[in-house]
Structure 1
Amino acid sequence: MKALPALATTILVSTLACLPALAQTPDMQVTAADRQQLVDSLSREVDQRYVFPDTAKKVAASLREQQARGAYERITSARQLAEALTQQMQATSGDRHMRVLYSDQPIPESKPAAAPQPEDVSRRLDMARSSNFGVQKVEHLPLNIGYLELDGFWRAKDAAETLAAAMTVLAHTDALIIDLRNNGGGDAGASTLLASYLFDTRTHLGDFYYREGNRIEQRWSLDVVPGLRYGQKRDVYILTSKDSFSAAEDFAYLLKNLKRATVVGETTGGGANAGEDVRLLPHFAAFMPLSRLVSPITKTNWEGVGVTPDLKVCAADALRMAQVTILEKRATLEQDGARLGELKQRIEELNKGKPHCTS
């Protein structure tokens, strides 16, 4: 899975998978007893907590069956065992979020409402700042088209100021292109924040369904956003690729189905379920979806199938195609001869630069 290198987030990223201590350290050796204990613990947690009960039973059964068949008996490396169990869960469920994680440092027992340690907060913010909170490019393209490239959705409270600055710069453009082709996911709250700039009134974006307690949490656009609101009268285009995943897909899916944006590019990766780390043993945890996103329009989500673009082109051609589509639509309404000439000239320039797509 293509994902942000270090985010403790709502939709996608496991906190344990991001800790520096997990990399470049000696591996732990596992015994037959360790393997059995891990499979037992993993099977139990999946069966009881994974968001889809029927799939949970299938995954748990497949893990126990593989263990009984001796599929893992030659694995003595903790990391290799975690990888093997991850592959088995993903193959059975089709859910790329599911994984087993190994930590060379003991994983503490979970504590309710534990406050994050200051050093963890500081490290997360340093990483967020080093990536400019996901904002990689803000441009004013020819003929007043705005362009925003995001390679990730960091926590909304951390990214709000940077996103507000970007949206303020783009506030007076005639159309907006949001590029998520290299966006592997992140925080659903940041997706909600960005979407809120694109509506004039409070809008029902979707719901989170939680297996625990069989409860639903509604999700609405924000009444107030920092900076200038873009509003919903101007066209928005979202660029996607096969590498667009999780929170990036969330953003594209909700805006597409609310008829607020046109998606251009490739079908996305297909990760819609939200999860968190579940401690299994002192050195092992599982990241598994405990809730799922549901669209108020489709009554489902994009898990396993991805978000299908409205205009399907290869990722390399998506930016050109979005611009051409914007300008062609504008040309059909333009009555000023000189302005129409500018539009046609720019369309011709873009069509001459069409990239060669190999797939």
Structure 2
Amino acid sequence: MEHTEIERIVARIRELVATRYVFPDLGERIATDFGEAASTGRYAGAASPAALAELVSEDLRRLSGDGHLRLIHHSEPIPDLTDEAASAAIFERRSRTTMSGIGRLERLDGNIGLLQIEPALFGAHLVGDDIAAAMQILRNTQGLIIDLRACIGSDPAAVAYFCSYLLPPGTHLNDVYDRTEDRTTQYWTLPHVPGPRYGTDRPVYVLTSRRTFSGGEELAYDLRHTGRAVIVGETTGGGAHPRIGVRLHPHLEASIPTCRSINPVTGTDWEGTGVQPHIPTTAQDALATAHAALTRASEGTAL
């Protein structure tokens, strides 16, 4: 990469962190410390966009402890559009190439349903019909396992849409404060969904891993704190700050957290702490553990 191009990207990241990061005072401190690292020539020798992304992300994580604050390298070119349109195009492409984020849909022994969401729970405007179709297939199962072990993203509206199949209409799930607009948006389950709801009576287990992140964590957190699901697996990654994406280069996107979640039950979120499982086990053993528990429950045996 050209030295002038690296300088331009680094300067733009500093500006974004200082002016848009969800916590203003911390954003200014991070931007200052990041600039000091840049002044030592740390990034000047980056040979490629991928190498620059790795260096910058390492420093931003060290300075902030925020897993959403990073420089993302994309192997395919980012569309040269407005920031919002470019981000939308990236998610649309990912949803098309990952079967709408439905990694696995299966009936396990004992008539237990399994729905794996990977790599993300995409927006309902992209995959709503496919989620509705999956829930239609699962409608007569005895219990449901939602596998979020490789789910690394979503947005609050998509989480609310999915939770609407599992919780009563009008359930308050999450609030999100947006620094950019200085306003808080509430998210509730919907009064209507396409197809049948799964309902509130049958047991639901959620599988998590250390990889589970961001919107995947919100889905687990909301289902945990509404009392709707049992969480099985590992403590999740701990990224609760919704972000914006800003195109800085054909292959580089700055990820800047501009919002924070506020759960109506806990009054806080999972930033830095992750979602704690009810039944701790390794990610590898989580499915077998949840399936065994659901099988015992369907047979009338106490968990």
Say which SS state the counterpart of residue 173 (structure 1) adopts: coil
What does residue range 173-188 of structure 1 map to in structure 2 within 5 Å? 173-188=141-156
| C-alpha distance 67-158 of structure 1, shift in aligned 2 (>3 A) | closer
TM-score (norm 2): 0.87
Q: Give me the whole-angstrom Cα distance separating, in 1, the residues matched to 2:46 and 2:197.
A: 55
Distance (whole Å) between structure 1 residues aligned to residue 41 and residue 98 of structure 2: 44
Question: Is the alpha carbon distance of 1:182 and 1:58 closer, same or farther for their aligned partners in structure 2, counting shifts above 3 Å?
Answer: same
Match status 1:200 vs 2:168? yes
* Aligned-partner SS, 2:285: helix
Match of 2:52 among 81, 91, 96: 81
Alignment RMSD (CA, Å) = 3.0
Alpha carbons of structure 1 residues 313 and 102: separation in structure 2 relative to 1, 3 Å: closer
What is the one-letter code of the residue matched to 1:191? Answer: V
Q: How do 1:96-135 residues align onto structure 2 when only pairs under 5 Å count? A: 96-101=67-72, 110=82, 127-135=94-102
Counterpart of 2:238 in structure 1 is 270
Distance 2:11 2:187 in 1: 36
Q: 1:55 aligns with which of 26, 40, 49?
A: 26
Letter in 2 for 1:159: V
* Cα distance change on mapping 1:30 and 1:273 into 2, 3 Å: same
Number of the residue aligned with 1:160: 128
Q: Is the 8 A contact 2:156 2:187 kept in 1?
A: no
Distance in structure 1 (CA, Å) of the matches to 2:62 and 2:248: 20
Residue 161 of structure 1 and its aligned partner are, at CA, apart by: 1.2
Greater displacement, 265-274 / 275-284: 275-284
Partner SS, residue 197 of structure 2: coil
Distance 1:267 1:37 in 2: 38
Instruction: Look at both structures and tell me which one has the larger radius of gyration over its CA atoms.
Output: 1
Q: CA deviation at 1:142?
A: 2.5
Structure 1 residue aligned with 2:2, among 11, 29, 32? 29
Distance 1:230 1:67, change over 3 A: same
Identity %: 37
Superposed displacement of residue 222, structure 1: 0.9
Shift of 1:101: 4.9
Distance 2:35 2:94 in 1: 39
TM normalised by structure 1 equals 0.74
Gaps of 5+ in 1: 1-27, 335-346, 348-359
Please tell me whether residue 145 in structure 1 is matched to residue 102 in structure 2: no
Q: Does 1:65 align with 2:36?
A: yes
State the match for 1:343 in structure 2.
Answer: none
For residues 186 and 86 of structure 1, the distance between their equivalents in structure 2, rounded to whole angstroms, comes to: 21
Q: Which residue identity does 1:150 align to in structure 2?
A: I
SS at 2:135 equivalent: helix
Q: Which moved more, 1:322-331 or 1:289-298?
A: 322-331
One-letter code aligned to 1:61: T
Where in structure 2 are there 5+ consecutive unaligned residues? none
Deviation at 1:278, TM superposition (A): 2.9
